[in-house]
């Protein structure tokens, strides 16, 4: 029998800055599916694979960076951890903190967190502080708390988060047997694009792969500071996870774009929601709105004729659709509204079978 997946620290320990005696605080994160998409492959006239990060233990890619951040915090003797979040970081942080016996403190923008993510932090026993402000304000607060009080900051400004998240690139290259030609992903606070690029660069430098992909990042049009080249004071998008106006890893994201010969562009909320729906209906992959931003960008680029044929392309979808069912149901079809009696004919009629 093949051995079970051990979580990203044990699977990739030699690539991570941990001494051998650092204990991994893990929920078995990573090892997520790389799913071939016939639909997207046809659209781009190449081969497209979707990296389904919603399959991580708390339903998003954040678990990769949280296993490393919480393991480091424990090793350094921390008793409490703090983060700012649009929801997924807090869901992940509180789960790993609970496991490690650390006190989690969470700062989130008031009223702007998807219900599923709030429920996760609640169930993991966190102190959740809602802030009258946006994510960027919450991050400032978290940094202030970590500076003045004995709490460890576990946002992606903490480099150990990036180390964990870069393992997604390793997995992609391990499965494909090479680096893709192009990697596409959503951009919010810009930690993940930084991490993917670091992972691809390290694998090439070590000779595991012989090339690096171009990196294409996509922001939501209402929260696209990197595309616009200026801070967006009041970011707004249906993709609440990436409602960020002043990304902490802005410069790193620009580096990833420029060194890889890639791009960072933006898509409208309608394009994000359409991509989310199509991914669910065509491929059976249900993601939250922010997670569909890369797919939306890929579709827009294909429609504009910007993708040469024959490429191997990977797209990361970052978080599970069940985290934000309110947005999904707000755009539901008519079928949900039909209520019938217990009657086969009525069911057939309603389903359009006759
Ligand atoms: N997709 C999802 C589902 C996210 O939750 C995030 C970020 C991103 C994409 C963007 O990744 O910030 O590394 O560029 N969520 C953070 C949070 C901000 O607090 O959960 P990024």
The percent of residues in the chain predicted with pLDDT above 70, rounded, is: 98
pLDDT > 90? residue 193: yes
324-342 pLDDT tens trace: 999 999 876 665 678 999 9
Average pLDDT of the residues in 210-219: 98
pLDDT > 90? residue 200: yes
Pure H helices in 188-303: 191-205, 225-228, 250-260, 269-283, 293-303
DSSP string spanning 285-353?
--B-GGGGHHHHHHHHHHHTT-S-TT-EEEEEE-BBGGGGHHHHHHT--GGGG----S-HHHHHHHTT-
Question: Is 88's C-beta closer than 6 angstroms to any atom of ligand 1?
Answer: yes
Nearest-CA residue for ligand 1 atom 10 is 188
Question: Is 189's C-beta closer than 6 angstroms to any atom of ligand 1?
Answer: yes
What order do you get walking across the sheet with 127-131 strand by strand? Answer: 127-131, 103-109, 80-84, 152-153
Question: Is 217's C-beta closer than 6 angstroms to any atom of ligand 1?
Answer: no
Rounded distance between C-alpha atoms, residue 87 and residue 130, angstroms: 11
Question: Is 86's C-beta closer than 6 angstroms to any atom of ligand 1?
Answer: yes
pLDDT > 80? residue 8: yes
pLDDT of residue 3: 85
pLDDT > 90? residue 1: no
Longest pairwise C-alpha distance within the chain = 69
pTM to 2 decimal places: 0.97
Question: Is 191's C-beta closer than 6 angstroms to any atom of ligand 1?
Answer: yes
Question: Is 192's C-beta closer than 6 angstroms to any atom of ligand 1?
Answer: yes
Tell me which of 50, 55, 186, 193 to substitute to probe ligand 1's pocket, judged by most ligand atoms within 8 Å of the beta carbon. Answer: 186
CA of 232 to the centre of ligand 1 (A): 17
pLDDT > 90? residue 92: yes
267-299 pLDDT tens trace: 999 999 999 999 999 999 999 999 999 999 999
Average pLDDT of the residues in 178-203: 98
pLDDT > 90? residue 98: yes
Question: Is 288's C-beta closer than 6 angstroms to any atom of ligand 1?
Answer: yes
């Amino acid at each position: 029998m093949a051995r079970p997946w051990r979580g990203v620290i044990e699977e990739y320990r030699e690539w991570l800055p941990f001494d051998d005696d650092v204990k991994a605080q893990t929920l078995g994160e990573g090892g997520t599916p790389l799913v071939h998409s016939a639909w997207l492959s046809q659209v781009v006239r190449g081969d497209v694979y979707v990296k389904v990060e919603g399959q991580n233990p708390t339903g998003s890619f954040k678990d990769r960076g949280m296993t490393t951040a919480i393991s480091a915090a424990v090793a350094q003797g921390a008793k409490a951890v703090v983060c700012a979040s649009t929801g997924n970081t807090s869901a992940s942080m509180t789960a790993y903190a609970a496991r490690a016996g650390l006190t989690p403190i969470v700062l989130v923008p008031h009223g702007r967190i998807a219900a599923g993510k709030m429920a996760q932090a609640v169930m993991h026993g966190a102190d959740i502080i809602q802030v009258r402000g946006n994510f960027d304000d919450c991050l400032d607060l978290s940094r202030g708390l970590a500076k003045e009080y004995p709490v460890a900051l576990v946002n992606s400004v903490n480099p150990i988060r990036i180390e964990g998240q870069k393992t997604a690139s390793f997995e992609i290259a391990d499965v494909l047997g090479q680096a893709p030609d192009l990697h596409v992903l959503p951009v919010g606070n810009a930690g993940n694009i930084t991490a993917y690029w670091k992972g691809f660069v390290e694998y090439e430098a070590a000779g595991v792969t012989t090339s690096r992909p171009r990196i294409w990042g996509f922001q939501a049009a209402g929260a696209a500071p990197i595309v616009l080249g200026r801070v967006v004071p009041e970011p707004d998008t249906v993709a609440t996870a990436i409602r960020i106006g002043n990304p902490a890893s802005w410069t790193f994201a620009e580096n990833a774009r420029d060194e890889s010969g890639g791009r960072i562009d933006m898509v409208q909320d309608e394009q994000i929601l359409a991509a989310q729906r199509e991914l669910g209906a065509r491929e059976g992959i249900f993601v939250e709105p922010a997670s569909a931003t890369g797919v939306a960008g890929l579709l827009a680029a294909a429609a504009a004729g910007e993708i040469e044929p024959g490429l191997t392309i990977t797209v990361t979808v970052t978080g599970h659709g069940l985290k934000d069912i309110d947005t999904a149901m707000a755009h539901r079809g008519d079928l949900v509204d039909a209520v019938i009696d217990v009657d086969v004919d009525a069911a057939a009629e309603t389903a359009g079978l006759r």
